[in-house]
């Protein structure tokens, strides 16, 4: 498994992190570009023109890149870096995860609420278990990571609720297919930006559940 939280696929494009020097699937990294104004911008959708500068999706790594001036080196040109760059990445990734879950819900690939999620888990329908980072550990402990699937706890109850069209939510699940693989990719990147418990990321699979 890669540092970004995904199983490496042989045909998946790879990129090198300018901080760690590690080469891995680009799904576990964040692309940055140098804008015409000489400012570094995160390119989460990977569509902006220009030379891509890749950094592991990890708050500590991105902050190290800022501190050591590695973006200018990666761009091979003078570069200004926003002081809140890591926050910009985190906020952008959170928005992408919420939007993708919302689209999955509308397509019938997602459910919310303890009983519905438990039912999907029991029936083997769930591929991903989503639980709010600020939910009760006791309540969350009554559910389990789908065999061969993923668990993510990188969204707050407000964010998870927003994805499901309600004020708050603690438990959600995604079925295989549809946008689920894209949710896994983006949630894994977000988990690296939102560390908890002294450094652990807010994600796991059945190997660590």
Residue-wise pLDDT for 60-105, tens only, equals 999 999 999 999 999 999 999 999 999 999 999 999 999 999 999 9
4 lies in a domain?
A: no
Q: Which two tokens stand for residue 116?
A: 């519905």
Does one domain contain both 54 and 137? no
Q: Which residue has the tokens 């980072």?
A: 133
Assign residue 31 the CATH number of its domain. 3.30.1230.10
Does one domain contain both 75 and 98? no
Does one domain contain both 106 and 130? yes
DSSP 146: P
Count of domains observed in the chain? 2
Does one domain contain both 46 and 108? no
Domain that holds residue 51: 14-83
Torsion of CA 37, 38, 44, 47, to 10 degrees: 70
Tens digits of residue pLDDT in 9-66: 457 899 999 999 999 999 999 999 999 999 999 999 999 999 999 999 999 999 999 9
Last residue of a domain, one of 83, 111, 142: 83
Assign residue 181 the CATH number of its domain. 3.30.1330.30
3 lies in a domain?
A: no
Does one domain contain both 188 and 102? yes
Does one domain contain both 20 and 117? no
Last residue of a domain, one of 43, 68, 83: 83
Angle between helices 59-67 and 85-106 (to 10 degrees): 150
pLDDT score of 201 more than 60: no
Residue 23, SS3?
strand
Last residue of a domain, one of 55, 83, 111: 83
Q: Which residue has the tokens 């919302």?
A: 102
């Amino acid at each position: 498994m890669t540092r970004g939280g995904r199983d490496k696929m042989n045909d998946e494009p790879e990129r090198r992190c300018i901080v760690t020097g590690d080469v891995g699937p680009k799904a576990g990294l964040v692309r940055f570009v140098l804008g015409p104004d000489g400012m570094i911008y995160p390119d989460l959708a990977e569509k902006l023109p220009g030379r891509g500068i890749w950094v592991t999706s990890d708050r500590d790594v991105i902050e190290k890149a800022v501190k050591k001036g590695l973006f200018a080196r990666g761009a091979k040109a003078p570069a200004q870096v926003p002081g809140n760059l890591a926050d910009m990445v985190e906020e952008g990734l959170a928005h992408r995860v919420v939007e993708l879950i919302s689209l999955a819900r509308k397509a019938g690939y997602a459910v919310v609420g303890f009983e519905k999620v438990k039912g999907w888990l029991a029936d083997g329908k769930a591929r991903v278990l989503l639980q709010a980072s600020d939910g009760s550990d006791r309540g969350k402990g009554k559910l389990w990571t789908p065999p061969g699937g993923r668990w993510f706890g990188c969204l707050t109850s407000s964010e998870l609720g927003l994805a499901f069209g309600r004020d708050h939510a603690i438990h959600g699940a995604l079925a295989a297919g549809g946008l689920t693989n894209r949710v896994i990719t983006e949630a894994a990147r977000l988990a690296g930006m939102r560390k908890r418990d002294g450094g652990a990321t807010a994600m796991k699979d059945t190997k660590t559940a």
